[in-house]
Amino acid sequence: MRRFSIAVVAAVTLGTALSSVPAHAGAGSGGRGLAHCTADTCHFDVPPGTYDVRVVVGGKTASATSISGESRRSLLPETAAPAGERITRSFTVNVRTPEGEPTGPEGTNGLDLRIGGTAPALAGIEVKRARHARQIFLVGDSTVCDQPGDPYSGWGQQLPQYLRKGVSVANYADSGESTVTYLGNPQLWATVRPLIRPGDAVLVQLAHNDKTTDEATYRANLEALVAGVRERGGQPVLVTPIVRRWFNPDGTLNNGTALLVNGLGVDHPAVIRSVAAARDVPLIDLTAKTKALVESLGVEGSKALYLTNEARDNTHTSVRGATAYAGLVRDELVTRHLVPKGTVRVG
């Protein structure tokens, strides 16, 4: 396959609003890629792949800039710059088709970035093909996926903002999927597995939709996913599901509905923990961690993490909840040494 070396640069004068600014191909780029930035968006005409993005933020007045991209992925948290100062930040982003959920619409070609924040000021931006990036693949359901519209957000949609240049998140989570459907759909596991390279981590959180999966099948499906990752040289990571916000009268979470025990009596988190122990797979016990957080916030305080008020939905998370849960995942990636040192944004 032909290798592309792409460098696209768009620079804007500090202290002025971004008007349509064409990007120029850098030296040695072969002239590939047309791009432009407006006041709140940038588009880079690049093929699918993994790209390093370097941004400079700041202006004559104090500013606070955030960047999201593709299918509402948070790529850079709001970054404050004092008046007259410029701050440089870098991150790595996955560009693919479809750009969101694997079974969703294709979206737009190329890399689309959106400039946000309470006082945005983009001073410069550079996009280059990433040469040595590792990927974190996400295999999951609607609580993980890149949700297409507000107010919904999956934790995988918020995870990229916690990572620096050198690691990208390839979110192949898809709404409505169980272990059975994920393995059986050619747009899902059959697509993800060949993309895994040695050193890539593959986080698997599938349980919410395994409502009719018996324990033996559920266990076998998890083991098949683990084996498939290892056959490609990747690092499987099993993730127990986020809790549902269903309280008992005493303020604790319901052991069945909230903690995902299905109608057949299958305790999904328990099976995941068992498979992780038996197969020597790193475990992120997101059930335990989200349970602790939700119970600490209480019946009223925890509503903001979910879409309780907006949609009477106690399963799917708001941007706030997804960001909090992505932070828990970030902490576990660091603790378990699953990402290279220096590639995690902690502040």
Reported confidence tier of residue 120, pLDDT bands at 50, 70, 90: very high
Give the C-alpha separation, 40 to 238, whole Å: 37
Cβ count within 10 A of residue 2: 3
Residue where the block lists tokens 């941007």: 319
> Mean of the per-residue pLDDT values for the chain?
89
What pLDDT digit, counting tens, does each position of 73-105 carry?
A: 999 999 999 999 999 999 999 999 999 999 999
> What integer pLDDT is reported at residue 39 of this predicted model?
81
| Residue 199 scores a pLDDT above 70 | yes
Domain boundaries, the chain: 7-129, 134-335
> What integer pLDDT is reported at residue 89 of this predicted model?
96
Distances, alpha carbon 157 to alpha carbons 85, 268, 320, in Å: 30, 23, 12
> What integer pLDDT is reported at residue 38 of this predicted model?
85
> Could you say which DSSP state residue 292 is in?
H
At 338, list the tokens: 């699953």
Nearest to 219 by CA among 175, 270, 259, 181: 270
Q: Name the fold adopted by 7-129.
A: Jelly Rolls (2.60.120)
The three-class DSSP label of residue 196 is coil
> What integer pLDDT is reported at residue 345 of this predicted model?
86
Tell me which CATH code domain 134-335 carries.
3.40.50.1110
